[in-house]
A and B are shown apart, each in its own frame.
Chain A
Amino acid sequence: MTRLIVYSVVAAVASVAAVHAEPRVVELQGKSPLVTIRLVFTTGAASDPADKPGLASLTAQMLGNAGTKTLTYKQITDALYPMATGIYAYSDKEMTTFVGQTHIDNLEKFYAIMRDAVLNPGWRPEDFTRVRDDQVNALRVSLRGNNDEELGKEVLYNVIYSGHPYGHQDMGTVSALQKLTVADLQAFHHQHYTQANLIIGLAGGYPAGFAARVKKDFATLPEGPADSFTLPQPATLTHNQAMLVEKDTRSVAWSLGFPVALKRGDPDFAALLVAESWLGQHRESGGDLYNRMRELRGLNYGDYAYIEYFPNGMYQFEPDPNIARHQQIFQIWIRPVEPPNAVFALRLAIFELDKLVKHGISGDDFEKTRSFLSKYVNILTKTKSAELGYAIDSAYYGMPEYNQYLKTSLAKLTVDDVNRAVKKYLHADNLQIVGIAKDAAAMKAALVSAATTPIHYNSPKPQDILDEDKTVESWPLNLKPDDVKIVPVASVFEN
């Protein structure tokens, strides 16, 4: 394998600016009658001005879901309808993406609309009001009101990155969104939608010359500069901390984690990915947390672990590409637990993490997990659109094509590499914990109390599980009253 070049965080991002003054193009030309266009700008919530959180996201939504200079939103909707397609806009900390897929019959018509959406937005006030309302409602209703698990995960990121450019939800805050104006969006568009920030991705059976034409069209954007993210190291905790979001809900959802100084393309990435997959491969039944918490004890619907951001995990088996970040956290997601067993479930997850950190994984587990990941990567890139997205991410990270990179890295790994990476990057203390709970005061009392929190079963369990439960029910959470904060759900994402 080619030795990967390791950049420091800031240098890696700066290198993009230094090298690319014009749009980069990533092509996966093939025979498929379906053509995917991905326009990725390397800008996002980390570039939001401090007093305007949500600006990058709202700008993207205003381009993707509103009229252009020449067409109203209704005219665009009418034109796209027979093609059965649309423009999907999303933005994360460092990337803003517009993706569309069309049958080749309609490529020219579709491309013209997508191009104008990004290059010549209409900025109509009535579109702005609608798109901004949608974003406010996405925070207040979809995330805060209707989805305890995604809420917990997003609050975890906000708390861990407090005071950091990653420290606000990508969609911003309700109060900031309500103050934004069309002029703010136009200024953001002018400053950040530059050639230096643009990666154009094309996949499918598009005709010869199409890529050159797209590149030429987007060469009308301002040349630069590229966004340069100066990312400080997020604060490291010196002991466990918890935030409880109080909400009237049936059960308790937990998320916990800490910053991990590792990103895709780094030398230890594959090693830590093996550990993550072993502990809690997303939505698969093979993970240790899933097995110990759900299969053996019936605590909930599932439990998983992550070393890269994975929004919408409730609905997706595979992550969206183009949410590349130069800083990541390690995270455990505990799906809702019945309140009487909630603290036990939290303790068990930390206990399992502690076992991993102390003992590592076995040679046999290593082989199975490595085999899984070497093949599963084909599933991650099973669509051309996903393959294209991963290729764009690789261009951003300055690393080889992901599928081959991962297979090659995994082939060279040893179990010792994995266990060394576990010791280096993971720990079962100094955790940030987030819980969504109905009676937060009672939950706080349980978390800080010295009392044990035994699990209650509805069927006989083997002795080794019962013995282990004795350890787990009193596993130290090391939380003092000052370490546990309670916030009412109505205040989350407001300011």
Chain B
Amino acid sequence: MRIFQYLSALSLLASAGHLIAAGKIFPYPYVQEELPNGLRLITVPTDYPNIVSLYIVVGAGSRNEVEPGKTGFAHLFEHLMFRGTAEYPPEKYTATLKTAGAASNAFTSSDLTAFHTTFSKEDLPTVLSMEADRFQHLDYTEAAFKTETLAVLGEYNKNSANPSEQLYETLRSTGFKVHTYSHTTMGFLKDVQAMPEGYLYSREFFSRYYRPEYTTIIVAGDIDPKRVRALIDERWGNWKRGSYKAQIPAEPPQDGPRRAHVDWPSETMPLITVAWRGPAYSDDTMETVALDAIAHLGYDQNSPLYQKLVVEEQKVESMGAEAPGNLDPEFFQVNAHVKDAKDLASVEAQFKATAQAFADKPVEPAKLEALKQHQRYDFALQLDNSESIAATVASYVALRRTPETMNRYYDMYAKLTAADIQRAAKKYLIDKNLDVVTLTTKDGAK
């Protein structure tokens, strides 16, 4: 197995040079299987003892919220999944996890909802069985549903104290008018407040998406893949396939720059996001990795712009960029906390000029090489326990339903050229695709 070769090579490291730079990026052998009902299983034995981490990824997130007034339902559903079944009412579910010493939680993003549990290996059959039960037989009353909608409102409330959340909400509604990326995972406040009346819709949502063909189970840690498969067959094999396919409206091409501003009610540092509409995630073209390279080379801590704005002039407290990596086209965005609102315009201009420079001239080979090395070490440093390994796999599985996409993505990175970067900048980082959102303390706020 490759993992043993990898570890036994350690003693030779001094002479081996940059071992990390060779071969596939994901060092663990994994088994990918599909059950007849469409459920996909990925097992990853790791070298970390005793612990097992289970991620169940449902390929439905806020992107799937296609009906008006129903934003936030994928996330609400993440909550409802803890509301129990006939066999495992919530108290029994919680008590079982408690006895197992399991750390359990869930999260929702634009493209996925993930349920994760990390526990001791002897509890694997119990946990897999209990999870199978709730995915197939979830049952909750309207009263329980209504109570849970209040916990979601509570989550909205705790997020709302952070101006970055408001900035992001505004960016999405500015940049997207048709596609469901126009709202965040939390949903619009008015929809969150109206959730208590959505009981029947919630049952419909479950029936559409909580189906084997939407679901991928990842089990990483101290495991035997054959034994896991047998448990999955036994507990998840009878889960019925569904037929629903969401019609996600395509966003028409942007027709020119857009701009929005948020007045924040209390003291905060001015915030700015400069964003361009980018492409969807791809592991078979250079576009995703090329834009990712621009995000790093243009705006990371060692970039000339960061050094100028943060370290030398000290006009910006923090900044960074993020490349698009979603199922559908999303933003390439640059964010900054600016110390004084009078510098917002200048920071915006410099963010744009930096993007333009990638279109105008090729990047220096040494810088591209340093970035490639950074990316590979960064990936390796993430994989320091079974939970991180499962979480990393889960983040890619939402995009292509296979860990192999990680290897393909980093393979593309290895092949990336200065010309690829220039092409991506010319195609996407242009005024026509631009969305700028600023946030400052409103006049008179204390």
The answer for the CA separation of A102 and B445 in the assembled complex, in Å, is 45
8 contacts between A and B (CB under 8 A): A248-B265, A251-B154, A295-B151, A368-B95, A376-B102, A378-B51, A458-B149, A490-B267
The answer for the CA separation of A457 and B10 in the assembled complex, in Å, is 61
CB proximity of A424 to chain B, nearest CB, Å: 25
Q: Mark B268-290, 1 if CB is under 8 A from A, else 0.
A: 11000000000000000000000
| B349 at interface, CB cutoff 8 A | no
With A101-B381, A458-B150 known as contacts, the answer to whether A140 contacts B267 (CB < 8 A) is yes
| B196 at interface, CB cutoff 8 A | yes
* B150, B163, B301, B314 — most chain A CB neighbours (10 Å): B150
> Cβ of A378: which chain B residues have Cβ within 8 Å of it?
50-51, 101, 120
Of B157, B302, B380, the residue contacting A251 (CB under 8 A) is: B157
With A247-B266, A286-B94, A301-B154 known as contacts, the answer to whether A371 contacts B99 (CB < 8 A) is yes
Q: Mark B91-112, 1 if CB is under 8 A from A, else 0.
A: 0001101111111110000000
Query: CB distance A371 to B101 under 8 Å?
Result: yes
- Leading 8 A-B pairs by shortest Cβ distance: A375-B101, A298-B150, A459-B146, A84-B378, A300-B154, A84-B377, A301-B154, A298-B147
Query: CB distance A146 to B143 under 8 Å?
Result: no
- Interface residues of B, CB < 8 Å — how many? 82
- Interface residues of A, CB < 8 Å — how many? 84
| A461 at interface, CB cutoff 8 A | yes
> Cβ of A144: which chain B residues have Cβ within 8 Å of it?
267
Of B94, B148, B268, the residue contacting A146 (CB under 8 A) is: B268
CB proximity of B270 to chain A, nearest CB, Å: 10
With A105-B20, A137-B317, A368-B95 known as contacts, the answer to whether A74 contacts B307 (CB < 8 A) is yes
With A248-B265, A301-B158, A378-B120 known as contacts, the answer to whether A129 contacts B314 (CB < 8 A) is yes
Given contact pairs A103-B20, A141-B269, enumerate 16 new A-B contacts (beta carbons under 8 Å): A33-B20, A74-B307, A85-B377, A105-B13, A105-B18, A146-B163, A146-B268, A250-B160, A295-B151, A301-B151, A302-B151, A302-B154, A337-B157, A375-B102, A458-B150, A459-B145
Judged by DSSP, the binding face of B is helix
| B78 at interface, CB cutoff 8 A | no
Query: CB distance B119 to A375 under 8 Å?
Result: yes
> Cβ of B200: which chain A residues have Cβ within 8 Å of it?
none
Q: Mark B38-67, 1 if CB is under 8 A from A, else 0.
A: 000000000010110000000000000000
Q: Mark B149-178, 1 if CB is under 8 A from A, else 0.
A: 111011101101111100000000000000
> Cβ of B145: which chain A residues have Cβ within 8 Å of it?
459
The answer for the CA separation of A298 and B380 in the assembled complex, in Å, is 41
Which residues of chain B from 354 to 389 have a CB within 8 Å of any chain A CB?
370-371, 373-378, 380-381, 384-388
CB proximity of A227 to chain B, nearest CB, Å: 31
> Cβ of A351: which chain B residues have Cβ within 8 Å of it?
none
The answer for the CA separation of A131 and B385 in the assembled complex, in Å, is 33
CB proximity of B131 to chain A, nearest CB, Å: 14
| B1 at interface, CB cutoff 8 A | no
| Residues in A lying within 8 Å of B, measured CB to CB | 31-34, 73-74, 77-78, 81-85, 101-106, 126, 129-130, 133-134, 137, 140-141, 144-149, 205, 207, 247-251, 253, 283-286, 291, 294-302, 314, 317, 335-338, 368-369, 371-379, 382-385, 457-461, 488-490
> Cβ of B196: which chain A residues have Cβ within 8 Å of it?
458-459
The answer for the CA separation of A421 and B409 in the assembled complex, in Å, is 55
With A82-B377, A296-B147, A378-B120 known as contacts, the answer to whether A73 contacts B311 (CB < 8 A) is yes
The answer for the CA separation of A70 and B189 in the assembled complex, in Å, is 53
| B348 at interface, CB cutoff 8 A | no
> Cβ of B100: which chain A residues have Cβ within 8 Å of it?
371-372, 375
> Cβ of B337: which chain A residues have Cβ within 8 Å of it?
137, 141
With A104-B13, A368-B99, A375-B100 known as contacts, the answer to whether A83 contacts B377 (CB < 8 A) is yes
Query: CB distance B317 to A134 under 8 Å?
Result: yes
CB proximity of B115 to chain A, nearest CB, Å: 12
> Cβ of B18: which chain A residues have Cβ within 8 Å of it?
105
CB proximity of B101 to chain A, nearest CB, Å: 2
